[in-house]
Chains A and B, each alone.
Chain A
Amino acid sequence: SQQGEEDPQALSIQEGENATMNCSYKTSINNLQWYRQNSGRGLVHLILIRSNEREKHSGRLRVTLDTSKKSSSLLITASRAADTASYFCATDGRETSGSRLTFGEGTQLTVNP
């Protein structure tokens, strides 16, 4: 089964609002990564948070990790129309052979001008 699951599946907000996406996973991890995918394009790495970190920032992005709840959240502040994309979490599971990077099914974010 999928290691990471994003919630919600789709999110529609107005420009300037904040967007929060959540990711839950099942097994222990080494790190968790967030990626962005514009329609018809490849994924772009946004941020990596290690299992011993609780929060990380990068520009308008804020990622939190709660290993006790096996969950992470991605917050995009002051959203822009250009933030419209799908966002995926990916986990590197400690218990999986080869420490595979497993992707969730993504959250489709639409930011309306």
Chain B
Amino acid sequence: DGGITQSPKYLFRKEGQNVTLSCEQNLNHDAMYWYRQDPGQGLRLIYYSQIVNDFQKGDIAEGYSVSREKKESFPLTVTSAQKNPTAFYLCASSIMGWRQPQHFGDGTRLSIL
């Protein structure tokens, strides 16, 4: 079945540590996105990519980094510069960028130890 796989489901970060969240899709979608969701809140865009080797900052990119070396993969690194990383992180993909329905993974919940 085609879909988006996020791993791990739960992740714990120590002080000063960088952690990387994985996102893989086999839907052959061009565009991929990372969102952050805080409890009881909507989604805020961190980064997005509409083509391999290219990505743009979203609304809350500070303290995060991404890469898009393959069409199928869009990993997100939460760096030590992100002082409040505890949240639910969602990856999504879509056909031809904006104006298309987005397909979501099941998220990674990140907590601080």
**A residues less than 8 Å from B43 (CB atoms):** 43, 88, 103
Given contacts A31-B99, A98-B98, contact A106 B104 (CB under 8 A): no
Q: Which of A2, A31, A41, A99 makes the CB contact (< 8 A) with B42?
A: A2
| Complex Cα–Cα for A102 and B102 (A) | 12
* B42:A92 contact, CB within 8 angstroms: no
Judged by a CB distance under 8 angstroms, whether B40 is at the interface is yes
Given contacts A88-B42, A105-B41, A105-B42, contact A43 B98 (CB under 8 A): no
Judged by a CB distance under 8 angstroms, whether B85 is at the interface is no
Tell me the A93-107 residues at the B interface (CB within 8 Å).
Answer: 98-106
Judged by a CB distance under 8 angstroms, whether A84 is at the interface is no
* B106:A42 contact, CB within 8 angstroms: yes
| Complex Cα–Cα for A113 and B63 (A) | 44
**A residues less than 8 Å from B103 (CB atoms):** 45
Tell me the B70-108 residues at the A interface (CB within 8 Å).
Answer: 90, 92, 98-99, 101-107
Given contacts A101-B98, A104-B42, A106-B42, contact A40 B104 (CB under 8 A): no
* Cross-chain pair count, CB within 8 angstroms: 53
Interface centre among A2, A88, A101, A105 (most CB of B within 10 A): A101
**A residues less than 8 Å from B11 (CB atoms):** none
**A residues less than 8 Å from B52 (CB atoms):** none
**B residues less than 8 Å from A44 (CB atoms):** 104
**B residues less than 8 Å from A31 (CB atoms):** 99
* A43:B99 contact, CB within 8 angstroms: no
| Complex Cα–Cα for A43 and B45 (A) | 14
Judged by a CB distance under 8 angstroms, whether A14 is at the interface is no
| Complex Cα–Cα for A98 and B99 (A) | 10
CB of B67 to closest CB in A, whole Å: 20
CB of B75 to closest CB in A, whole Å: 17
Binding site for A on B (CB under 8 A): 4, 6, 35, 40-45, 56, 58, 90, 92, 98-99, 101-107, 109
